[in-house]
Chain A
Amino acid sequence: MTTMAEPLARAADVGGPRQPLLEVEGLTKHFPVRRSSFFGPKPVARAVDGVSFSIAKGETLGVVGESGCGKSTTARLLMRLIEPDAGRMVFDGELVGGDLDLRDLRRRMQMVFQDSYASLNPRLTIAESLAFAPTVHGIPHGEAIAEAAALLEQVGLDPGIVLHRHPHQLSGGQRQRVNIARALALHPRLVILDEAVSALDKSVEAQVLNLLVDLKERLDLTYMFISHDLNVVHYIADRAMVMYLGKVVELGPVDRIYADPRHPYTRALFAARLSHDPEKRTTAAVLQGDPPNPIDPPSGCRFRTRCPLAAEICAAREPAVIDLGEGHTVACHLHDPLAGHPEARRDA
């Protein structure tokens, strides 16, 4: 009896609470794209371009940015659903691909996708979907099915009703709870939530968010929470990471970033958000147009084509990451005293 549950026991903590759960350095993915002309170098889309960050144990890291900024690609790179072109990942002190193989990584790290319907196999019952991952990791099928009921209860669903249904017989909210249960089946330490609540109705979204907060507490989880919804990230995250065209532009504690955003892009993003207070809503569109094409991104700072404060230096050099203290970092020449941006003094 003792051996049976063993393969699925939660991976033990290695480095203690002060060691980050996940450290990512220089993560890069360039997708090859079809040539538009027969001449010149083979074009690539720089979907994720040298992204570095870390996630502390027990925290929730929120990731925000417009669609196409590389949020979801980052998530898939972390799960190794896509092979990165470059970059290093260390999970609780163990180098991924070195000390830690992919199979073990995927037990410690799980993911919930945006589309609750597409993320469940329409031909399998909920019980079978939930039992799939444990059986892959060597749990006998019967036991995994029994475990499925407990998982459903954990996410607030009645196994008696849900267990033997097919995905199309459930509501969107119920399906997303099933997807969360599926992610928990392997007892992970880190759960990546890729727009996991974005497709839900507002009222259902709130319930699922509360469930996530509750689960994190009970199961001692760490979250990476990807969303385009700034309000939701404010609510759930401890720290926020702002991405633009495959780069991290600003990273820091949620309270600091939301109170005092430093990067012009972050400011524009916040200005464009719908406030819950109708009096405070802006009418002017702050961000004009779409982000530039990642196939041939602007030189220097990638935001400069849409930045109201862009100067010559912004086209010439890529901004360095500047530490503003208290874990708040920003990649902008405005805050770099050595960059010589004309607006630097007044703004910083």
Chain B
Amino acid sequence: MDPSELGPIPPDQMKATRTPGYWRLVGGRILADRVTLVCLALLALIVASAVFADLLAPLDPLKTSMVKRLKPIGTPGFLLGTDELGRDILSRLLFGGRMSLLMGIWPVANALVVGGLLGIVAGFFGGRVNMLIMRTVDVFYAFPSVLLAVAISGALGSGMKNAIVALTIVFVPPLVRIAETVTTQVRSLDFVEAARASGAGSPTIIRVHLLPNVMGPILVYASGLISVSIILASGLSFLGLGVEPPQAEWGLMLNTLRQAIYVQPWVAVLPGLMIFVTSICCNLASDGLRNAMEIKQ
């Protein structure tokens, strides 16, 4: 273990003392994982098409036409057909992606901040603080997530803002739990004790030793929630509790097209297919991220 024991130092090691960082390693692992790559590419495509919907959409997504109602897929001028009010499905899907993705990601981001903070506080300080936070979380866990989302947005009334509030409340408890678990684990590791033993105060320990080690698992867990959030958000819109007409949103489109399944069944299926593909890609990408981020000793 003396330097001499390691043998003569090869010249390349003399210079290359800085080893590839952790994130470089994670990136390399993701690049080697084909399933994750494909999913990330698809997600990038979906996000880009939503962001650039203005440029990509062939028609105005809100423009109705009584004569061109419920055209089938492949109609000239309406590549993916039209809905019950004669609006272009392709354009509505592109614009709808904006709303659906926004409503999928926003609540998780909110919950990540609120739940992550509460969980870290509960895990780090333990005792009564932990008790208070975790028992409250237990109460929220007594509600199946769909029921909780519907109950809150049902009580608050329909609308995008209320739906986001409802979904945020749904995702806070699981994030508190995961953050608390991870924090409790890391806190009991010797390096946190060693940091305390060196005289550092709680804020410093949390910043230098705790956060960098707990953020990874919490973020990975949160990324897994995005898929659930997209399904739930669209579900709320499907029930008429989320985005309000005439706005385009995948769940809401599915709701209005439901009446048309006897006329144009395959057009009616399209918005749901988008939700499905997005959700499956989010799930697989999140799994891939989790695998890539595992620290192997």
Contact = CB atoms under 8 A, between A and B. Distances in A.
Interface residues of A, number: 47
A165 B19 CA distance: 6
A182 B194 CA distance: 9
A123 interface: yes
A308 B22 CA distance: 57
B interface, by DSSP: helix, strand, loop or mixed? helix
Contact of A81 (B9, B193, B200): B193
B3 A119 contact: no
Given A115-B190, A121-B191, A158 B9 contact: yes
Contacts of B6: 158, 161
B194 A166 contact: no
A272 interface: no
B208 A132 contact: yes
B213 A81 contact: no
Interface stretch (B10-18, B27-35, B239-247, B251-259): B10-18
Contacts of A111: 194, 197
Given A81-B193, A158-B3, A164 B212 contact: no
A120 B13 CA distance: 23
Interface string B192-206: 011111111000100
B3 A136 contact: no
Given A123-B22, A168-B295, A169-B19, A160 B200 contact: no
Given A115-B190, A156-B2, A106 B198 contact: yes
Contact of A113 (B3, B194, B295): B194
Interface string A166-191: 10110101100101001001100000
B66 interface: no
A33 interface: no
Interface in B209-262: 209, 212-213
A137 interface: yes
B185 to A, nearest CB: 11
A113 B193 contact: yes
A132 B212 contact: no
B189 interface: yes
A168 B20 CA distance: 12
A118 B191 contact: yes
B187 to A, nearest CB: 12
A306 to B, nearest CB: 31
B1 interface: yes
Contacts of A123: 22, 212-213
Interface in A189-209: 204, 207-208
A163 interface: yes
B297 interface: yes
Contacts of A121: 191, 195, 208-209, 212-213
B17 A164 contact: yes
Contacts of A56: none
Nearest to B208: A132
A212 interface: no
B161 to A, nearest CB: 38
A342 interface: no
A177 to B, nearest CB: 7
Contacts of B3: 156-158, 161
Interface centre among B193, B199, B204 (most CB of A within 10 A): B199
Nearest to A117: B297
Nearest to A113: B190
Nearest to B210: A121
Given A160-B14, A161-B13, A164-B18, A106 B190 contact: no
A102 interface: yes
Interface in A113-168: 113-115, 117-124, 129, 132-133, 136-137, 156-158, 160-161, 163-166, 168
B17 A160 contact: yes
A155 to B, nearest CB: 9
A186 B193 CA distance: 16
B199 A120 contact: no
Contact of A120 (B2, B17, B191, B295): B191
Nearest to B15: A160
A114 B198 CA distance: 17
A38 to B, nearest CB: 18
Interface centre among B17, B18, B190, B213 (most CB of A within 10 A): B190
Nearest to B201: A136
Contacts of B195: 121, 132-133
A236 B279 CA distance: 62
A99 B79 CA distance: 83
B191 A119 contact: yes
Contacts of A165: 17, 19
Interface string A64-85: 0000000000001001010000
A280 interface: no
Nearest to A156: B2
A34 interface: no
A81 B204 CA distance: 16
Interface of A: 76, 79, 81, 102-103, 106-107, 110-111, 113-115, 117-124, 129, 132-133, 136-137, 156-158, 160-161, 163-166, 168-169, 171, 173-174, 177, 179, 182, 185-186, 204, 207-208
7 contacts: A110-B197, A115-B190, A123-B22, A124-B212, A161-B9, A165-B19, A173-B1
Given A136-B204, A166-B19, 13 more contacts: A119-B191, A136-B200, A156-B3, A157-B3, A161-B13, A163-B17, A164-B18, A171-B1, A173-B1, A174-B1, A179-B194, A185-B198, A208-B1
